Structures are given as C-alpha cells and as structure tokens.
Structure 1
Amino acid sequence: MKRLMNRLDALLEALYHTRHRRELARIRRDRHDLLMLLVHADALGIDHPAAGLLLELRPLLADDFHDWHRRMGLSHSPLDCPRCC
C-alpha cells in the first residue's frame, strides 16, 4: 500500500510540475533576480540595510552575474569584475 501511495504521489507531482512548468520557472527566475539585486545593490548605487550581510554571497553568485545584468538590460557590468564583459 505504501509503495502504491509513493507512486501516486510521484505521478501527481509530475503532473503538477508538467502543467505549471513555465510558471514555476518564471517564479524561480524572479526570486533569483531579486536575490541578485539584493546582493549587488550597493554596487548599483542602491542603499539597503542588509548589504554588509549579503557580501558573503557575492562569490557564490559571481558566475550568474553576467546573465543577470544582461537580462536586467544593463549592457555592461556595473562591477569591476574580470569575469564579466
């Protein structure tokens, strides 16, 4: 019985994710964009109180930065990072 319930659960989850894949991808991208904005806000000239706490995340998100600033419409990186542009 437990095996049947696990298979049913997997089937329903796959069905839900298949139907709403685009919407879930958009939500995930929007959340990632917000995180990138918060992490790099001080470099963009936006003050916010958590800027110092988020500095530790910059190296972890450095690889995604180029794609993010292009998607946000910035033709060149506002940061002086050698890996970008």
Structure 2
Amino acid sequence: MTFFIILGYVSLAFKIYSFMLIAYILMSWVPAAQNSAIGRMLEKVCEPYLGIFRKFIPPLGMIDISPIVAIFMLNFIERGLYIVIQKIYFMFA
C-alpha cells in the first residue's frame, strides 16, 4: 500500500513541475507575463533545469527546441525513478 502512495507523490511532483515548465514556456510568448510575480517565480524554478538543455541544444532559427527535449527528459527521469523506487521497495518488502 505504501508503495502506491510513494509512487503517487512522485507522480504528482513530476506532473506539477511539468505544468510549471509548460506555463513558463507559454509565458515566454508574452513578455508582460514574464515580468509578473508568477513569471519571476516560474523563472527561478524552471530556468535552472531548462538552462542545462539550452547549453547543448542550439535554437533552430528562431525556434528553441530545448524545452521540448527537457520535458521528454523529465518523463524519462520519472520513469527511471519509478523503477528505482520499485526495486528498493521490493528489496526490503
């Protein structure tokens, strides 16, 4: 039972962060939104993660594809974490 609760919390955390990333990306289209309190908060939370991908993935013309890769990588990390939690849980269960 606790295994599913842990997975639920992990899933919720990753979903919230994914939505925060998407909101931050959409806010980049509206400069006034980025200067709001929510925009500055999202920048502090999302930019360190997105910055990792922006170092390695150059924009294609005027299109920055690094956020797409970042979201896919976040999903990949979430699935990997599920496997690790499952292995640890069943090792001690």
TM-score tier by shorter-chain length is 0.3 to 0.5
Taking structure 2 as the reference length, the TM-score comes to 0.40
Taking structure 1 as the reference length, the TM-score comes to 0.43
- Structure number with the bigger relative contact order (C-alpha 8 A, sep ≥ 6) is 2
Judging by fraction of residues, say which structure has more helix: 2
Of structures 1 and 2, the larger Rg is shown by: 1
